[in-house]
Structure 1
């Protein structure tokens, strides 16, 4: 997908490293390992770009055997239909078997009447391959499920994975935890599963059919998680990062009980979270600036699909970070300066809206207005962040 994606992945990876303070030596080692993988993922995209993956490349033995049987059955049916002396009963039997195989090997979205990714609605059904290459169908599980959309470039997604594993270990017999990787390779998904310790059900959406633009889940922010009741209706939709405490609370709703787990303390102090978000947003500005510098050098880049996707991804990050920023509760001494940062964030949100609308409409003029507003918002954010950091530094000893 080009150089810009590599830069995006790199800075997003850095964001994970600063989200919260490590709680143990083991935590430090795990974070360094994950960060290294993120950098490698970014460099891989930078050097070779992204490409589509043939389903047979990740299919397991059982699923691959079904695909091969289907191909053979369809070829045999064609021969029988061309044979005037063929037995009609044999043709009918073969047609039924082909129908069975087609149903069993259909991968992706399985439409149902009235389905929608909203609370109270019937969850969109799907069948995807797991990391062993075998199909998993959501509606066939027969129990509550947690459906989480993630990708290696999404730092908050990676931060959540060890906690989803804790939920899985505590209640896996009653609730299926599912992580759907969006449009990445089997190798990448396996690497991050190993580094985060995730043993819950990880599935591959190779073409981003479920979460992409126009997909049934309409994923607008990453991570996105749906908590699904046993009857297939959506109990809760969570867009963005959520803590282990929130995971437990939302999972308890699915089982009408309480999960017995050890609850580690979470560092969510204002100083820590504010610094993390300021650093994250500053890093994302560098990525966006690179994208817009490319536009200035070559206006035809607005037609490049990879460039369009990267710009849209940046705009969504600004919205996600603004939501996280608004959730902070500053002390009185930082209230005014925090509001200044909020105002700059809101300008970025407006810029992002212009950019996304321009990308969708193919309107270069609107994209240009979005870029101009971004540069103004970036300058305002930099100044407001610098002012606030002085107060945060003074508050840090008290927070510790």
Structure 2
């Protein structure tokens, strides 16, 4: 039996470790503000720097995972995450905290690049991605329930991310090394990146899609504490319930699979998310805040899983999955600062209007890219020479599912 089928579940574990920092962003930014006394804008800037470092890792490694091997790069990423976040947790000196966040963020991005590339190369990337999103949502939800009861300070969220990286390390033994890393069966050995026009539009749209949502996600803790008048324990409980509700969304996406294609879940889901952003940003109490956050987190991983599916279908070697994911991470990186600046200028409600409008605008090209009508070649097969670059892909790839955060 080849190493790839045996190594599927470790990719889910590495995916969880890589994505966790983004999922814990509100508490990271909030604790930087309350624990270190940083103004909200500066705390958001530190969160953006962390995620920008993560995105840069994805762009740097998009075409290099096969060359170095999944095992080696995954271990490097987890080691950097463990060292960087551990260092940030152990000191209150701001320059060292920022340096640790940068190192840890690069490690998270490296782990995510390995997971995205490996999942795209398998015949059922949608199923693997939904499993990864289930895992990271459950992990983050448990941490949101636990961290408020363990004390204050900025170090606990960083320590939690570092701890998960350490726990995932043994799973890398099941990943292939450089000698085992090979092209999927039937894949072209060419280094040319296929579907460049479609991939570029998808990456740009995913950047804006992620930026709009994570601008709100980065300041959601402040909305709950200051505008909605909730306690940290209550806000943490809302986030935990929201992330656990996201498990239902991911499970539904996995069960739904290709039955509705990709255009309806991506386009319709993005419109629903825009409404949730407006509700959350204008929340003045527990009911409205919890309603917006919970419904938002139900649809966010659903749409994300189909977006990753679409990116994975563009290149069986997983390069577009990594590049589009890195573009999404770049949007995530800009989110905290964008949210902090917008909320400072126009208030939380005005910020929600701007972000909701951006999501509605970006829903159009995403829906067009995902529309049915043309079938891509199955994952792991060479694209025909006559197939034009920029072909719009709308059908599932591989098995029942075809594909998170």
Same fold (TM over 0.5): no
Q: Structure 1-normalised TM-score?
A: 0.28
Q: Which has the larger radius of gyration?
A: 1
Report the structure, 1 or 2, having the larger helix content. 2
Report the structure, 1 or 2, having the larger strand content. 1
Q: Structure 2-normalised TM-score?
A: 0.28
